[in-house]
Chains A and B, each alone.
Chain A
Amino acid sequence: MSKILIRGAQVLGGEPQDVLIDGDTIAATARQGEIDGSGTGLSAEGATVVEADGKVLLPGLVDLHTHLREPGREDSETVLTGTRAAASGGYTSVFAMANTFPVADTAGVVEQVYRLGKESGYCDVQPIGAVTVGLEGKKLAELGAMHESAAGVTVFSDDGKCVDDAVIMRRALEYVKAFGGVVAQHAQEPRLTEGAQMNEGVVSAELGLGGWPAVAEESIIARDVLLAEHVGSRVHICHLSTAGSVEIVRWAKSRGIDVTAEVTPHHLLLTDELVRSYNPVYKVNPPLRTERDVMALREALADGTIDIVATDHAPHPHEDKDCEWGAAAMGMVGLETALSVVQHTMVDTGLLTWAGVADRMSHTPARIGQADGHGRPVSAGEPANLTLVDPAYRGPVDPAGFASRSRNTPYEGRELPGRVTHTWLRGRATLVDGKLQ
Chain B
Amino acid sequence: MMRHLISAADLTRDDAVLILDTAEEMARVADRPIKKLPTLRGRTVVNLFFEDSTRTRISFEAAEKRLSADVINFTAKGSSVSKGESLKDTAQTLEAMGVDAVVIRHGASGAPYTLANSGWIDAAVINAGDGTHQHPTQALLDAFTMRRRLVGRDAGLGQDLAGKRVTIVGDILHSRVARSNVDLLHTLGADVTLVAPPTLVPVGVEHWPCEVSYDLDRVLPKSDAVMMLRVQRERMNAAFFPTEREYSRRYGLDGERMARMPEHAIVMHPGPMVRGMEITAEVADSDRCTVVEQVANGVSIRMAVLYLLLGGNEPAVTHTRPATERPAHTVLSDEEK
Contact = CB atoms under 8 A, between A and B. Distances in A.
- The CB with the most chain B CB atoms within 10 A, among A322, A324, A326, is that of A324
Contacts of B134: 208
A205 B109 contact: no
A166 interface: no
Interface stretch (A50-58, A196-204, A256-264, A334-342): A196-204
Interface in B77-113: 82-85, 87-88, 106-111, 113
Nearest to A327: B84
B207 interface: yes
A206 interface: yes
B205 interface: yes
B131 A319 contact: no
12 contacts: A197-B109, A202-B204, A205-B207, A208-B132, A209-B109, A211-B203, A277-B117, A278-B113, A323-B114, A324-B87, A324-B114, A326-B111
B108 A326 contact: yes
Nearest to B120: A322
A153 B194 CA distance: 55
B84 A324 contact: yes
B74 interface: no
B108 A201 contact: no
A277 B113 CA distance: 8
Contact of A200 (B83, B130, B204): B204
A108 to B, nearest CB: 33
A324 to B, nearest CB: 4
Interface string B39-74: 000000000000000000000000000000000000
Given A208-B131, A208-B134, A326 B203 contact: no
Given A208-B132, A208-B134, A319-B85, A325 B108 contact: yes
B133 interface: yes
A209 B130 CA distance: 10
A211 B132 CA distance: 12
A319 to B, nearest CB: 5
Interface string A267-285: 0000000000110000000
A126 B134 CA distance: 47
A328 interface: yes
B204 A204 contact: yes
Nearest to A325: B110
A226 interface: no
A322 B107 CA distance: 17
A207 interface: yes
B88 A323 contact: yes
A205 B114 CA distance: 18
A375 to B, nearest CB: 40
Nearest to A200: B203
| A: contact size bracket | 20 to 34
Nearest to B6: A278
A21 B150 CA distance: 84
Nearest to A321: B84
A290 to B, nearest CB: 11
B179 interface: yes
Interface in B173-221: 176, 179, 202-205, 207-208
B203 A327 contact: no
A45 to B, nearest CB: 58
A401 B299 CA distance: 52
A324 B204 contact: no
Given A323-B85, A323-B87, A211 B108 contact: no
A205 B88 contact: no
Contacts, number: 83
Contacts of A277: 117
Interface in B288-332: none
A320 B88 CA distance: 12
A205 B204 contact: yes
Given A206-B179, A322-B88, A213 B203 contact: yes
A204 B204 CA distance: 8
B202 A207 contact: no
Interface of A: 197, 200-209, 211, 213, 277-278, 319-320, 322-328
Contacts of B207: 202, 205-206
- The CB with the most chain A CB atoms within 10 A, among B82, B110, B131, B205, is that of B110
Interface in B139-182: 176, 179
Top 7 closest A-B pairs, CB basis? A323-B84, A327-B84, A326-B108, A205-B204, A208-B133, A278-B110, A208-B132
A75 to B, nearest CB: 14
Contact of B202 (A205, A320, A325): A205
Contact of B110 (A202, A319, A326): A326
B81 to A, nearest CB: 11
A202 B82 CA distance: 28
A100 B179 CA distance: 40
Contacts of A201: 203-204
A206 B204 contact: yes
B8 to A, nearest CB: 12
- The CB with the most chain A CB atoms within 10 A, among B85, B117, B176, B208, is that of B85
B109 A325 contact: yes
Contacts of A211: 202-203
Contact of A205 (B85, B110, B176, B208): B208
A326 B114 CA distance: 11
B106 A324 contact: yes
A325 B114 contact: yes
Contacts of A278: 110, 113-114, 117
A277 B205 CA distance: 20
A326 B205 contact: no
A324 B205 contact: no
A324 B202 contact: no
A213 B84 CA distance: 25
B310 to A, nearest CB: 24
A277 B87 CA distance: 17
Contacts of A204: 202-204
A324 B108 contact: yes
Nearest to B174: A208
A401 to B, nearest CB: 23
Contacts of B83: 323, 327
Nearest to B109: A208
Contacts of B204: 200-206
Contacts of A319: 85
A320 to B, nearest CB: 8
B84 A208 contact: no
A367 to B, nearest CB: 39
